[in-house]
Each structure stands twice: as C-alpha cells, then as structure tokens.
C-alpha cells in the first residue's frame, strides 16, 4: 500500500488542511482528510473494471466546516443523539449543547467532525489522533482518541478506534460515510441491502429511540436482501414518516458475545447495486448499526458542483445505541480511567 499526503486547501482563517491517499497499484484508492478524520473519496471498480467514487462529499475543506451532513467524518464524543442534551453520570448531571434542539447531535456543533486531527503514516496505515479536553462540548474528562485507517488491495477499508480518558465519560464513536455504489449522482432506491438484525429501535418525533421493536412485518425487515426504494417510499408507516420519509433507525445487531465483552468482528450488513455489480460488506464489533437513507440530504452541495438529492446515499454507522447513555444499559457506553475503548469496523467493496 502507498500513502501520500498533499495540501488540500485552507479553512476560513487560513489554517491548512491535509488530504491523505491510501492507494494500490491496481488503482484502488481511498482519500482521508485530517479535518474530522473524514473519508473524502473511495474509487472502486464496477463489474467492467471501471473505477468510480462511491462516497459522497464536498470539494473543499471549507464546505466540510459549514455543511450539516457530517460527510464521511468521525463523529464524537457521542455519535447520533442524546435526548434533551443532558445525561447523568455517577450522580452528576451534565448539560450539552442542544445543536439539534432539544437534543445534542454528533457531539455538538464543534464535535470531532469539525476538529483538525494529527496525522501520521506507518508502513501499513494512516493514523489520526485527537485530544479532547475536559469540558469539550460539555463532556467530562480529557479524552485521547486514535483512529487508524488501513486499506487492502482487495478493497477492505478497516477503521480501528482506540481511546483513553482521565475521568469517566460517555463515548460512542462512528464514521458517517455516505455511500452510493452506482458511482454517479443518483438515488439509492435500486440498491439492495441485507442486515443481520431482528430488532430495531422505534423513534419519537425528535428521532430519539423509544421502544425496541421486531423487524418482522415492517418496512425495516432486511433480514433477507431487499431493494431500498419501496421501503423508503412507504406512505402508511408512522416510523418512516417520523424519520423524514425514509429510514433513520438503529438496528440491534446479532451477536453471540456477552454484552459485557467486546463482540467479535462479524458481518452485519451487505449492500448490492445491480447496475454496477458493486457490493459493500460491513463488519463490526459493535452492537448497534444506524441505517440512514439520507432523508435530509436534499439541497446539500456536493462534489463537482452537484447538489445532492433526498435518498442520494446510505449511511451504515456502527456504534452504541442513540441516547444509550440515558438508557438502562448506560454503563456499557461509559469509558472509565484505566480502561481502553476499542471499536473495529470494516467496509469491504467488491464486485459480484
């Protein structure tokens, strides 16, 4: 694997931003910026060997700071929502920024997705580190995070997350990549998806999980591969309506490991685009997977002057459950001093 670096552009204050590219001699390549440790592009072949970018994103660093879609970014300290922008930990209530009133979303308006990470190369990986000080966006404890990207010649992109804290803090990290396997500006209605989940969290009007529901006999049943289009076009399902006309729900992934232990890295999702033959396999160590069909993407400026449309991509965000810090099993998402947070998620792009 080859890793190269370049000056990508500047922020409004003149701060330079880097672009790092992981590539192979067969033409496969992935680019990552140190701004938000975000995935910027991923060129993958179709069944005829033609390479195309399967990630949505922006053309300039400035667009990542002003955009609202969290394109390809590492989001934290808390991925997804915390209800009421508050939580209690060890008897102390902590108030967060309600950047999506009344909730906190993706760690706040100045979360990890908006910060410049420190990048370094190893022989086999791109490593990005960030120190989040105590009180950062309302979260306790000084947190050190390391995200490692590796990319194989077979098209396997592995993201490994490690973190340590000096005081107890909630932690739920994920990557917010937007995938469209067609490689062109289109919707994902013709994509087919399979999810290894028998249950999902129903949501309220603020997209906060309420009850755990079975997927059977609902538009959320992807235990067998099914096209996305008919599900997001459902008109008579309250949950589809509450999500903004699509899916924005957390699935509880099957695992044989005890909740108190780190689950095994296992296949949890498969996405297939019949037109190009591209397939994306997702494997993770995590219990939750937010499946988002880009219901609020309409009008977002994208690459090469394109304006994205509703349902223009899909996100598969592995991590804990939204608002889990306020659930009965909150302790599972609290990082304590002298403990190590570790998550591994792998996206594998191939052709069938």
Cβ neighbours, 10 Å, residue 92? 9
* CA distance linking residue 350 with residue 344, whole number of Å: 20
Question: Residue 153 class from Cβ within 10 Å (0-12 exposed, 13-18 middle, 19+ buried)?
Answer: exposed
| Cβ atoms of residues 297 and 315 within 8 Å | no
* Active-site residue flag, 311: no
Q: List the catalytic residue out of 20, 176, 273, 311.
A: 176
Largest CA distance in the chain: 59
* Active-site residue flag, 249: no
Q: List the catalytic residue out of 18, 192, 286, 317.
A: 317
| Cβ atoms of residues 306 and 117 within 8 Å | no
| Active-site residue list | 176, 317
């Amino acid at each position: 694997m080859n890793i190269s670096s370049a000056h990508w552009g500047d922020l409004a204050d003149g701060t330079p931003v880097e672009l790092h590219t992981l590539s192979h001699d067969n033409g496969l390549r992935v680019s990552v910026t140190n701004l938000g440790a975000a995935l910027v592009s991923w060129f993958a072949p179709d069944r005829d060997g033609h390479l195309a970018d399967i990630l949505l994103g922006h053309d300039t660093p400035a667009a990542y700071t002003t955009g609202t879609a969290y394109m390809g970014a590492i989001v934290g300290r808390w991925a997804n929502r915390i209800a009421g922008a508050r939580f209690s930990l060890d008897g102390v209530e902590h108030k967060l920024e309600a950047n999506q009133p009344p909730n906190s979303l993706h760690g706040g308006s100045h979360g990890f997705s908006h910060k410049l990470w420190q990048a370094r190369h190893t022989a086999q990986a791109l490593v990005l580190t960030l120190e989040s000080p105590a009180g950062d966006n309302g979260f306790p404890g000084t947190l050190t995070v390391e995200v490692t990207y590796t990319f194989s010649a077979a098209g396997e992109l592995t993201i490994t997350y490690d973190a340590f804290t000096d005081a107890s803090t909630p932690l739920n990290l994920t990557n917010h990549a937007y995938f469209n396997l067609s490689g062109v500006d289109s919707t994902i209605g013709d994509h087919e998806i399979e999810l290894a989940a028998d249950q999902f969290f129903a949501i309220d009007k603020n997209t906060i999980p309420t009850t755990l529901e079975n997927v059977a006999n609902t538009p959320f049943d992807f235990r067998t591969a099914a096209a996305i289009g008919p599900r997001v076009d459902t008109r008579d399902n309250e949950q589809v309506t509450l999500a903004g006309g699509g899916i924005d729900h957390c699935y509880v992934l099957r695992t044989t490991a005890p909740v108190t232990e780190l689950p095994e890295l296992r296949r949890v999702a498969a996405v297939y685009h019949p037109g190009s033959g591209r397939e994306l396999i997702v494997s993770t160590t995590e219990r939750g997977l937010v499946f988002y069909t880009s219901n609020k993407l309409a009008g977002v400026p994208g690459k090469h002057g394109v304006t994205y449309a509703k349902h223009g991509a899909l996100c598969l965000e592995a991590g804990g459950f939204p608002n889990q810090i306020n659930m009965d099993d909150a302790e599972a998402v609290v990082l304590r001093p002298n403990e190590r947070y570790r998550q591994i998620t792998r996206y594998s792009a191939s052709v069938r």
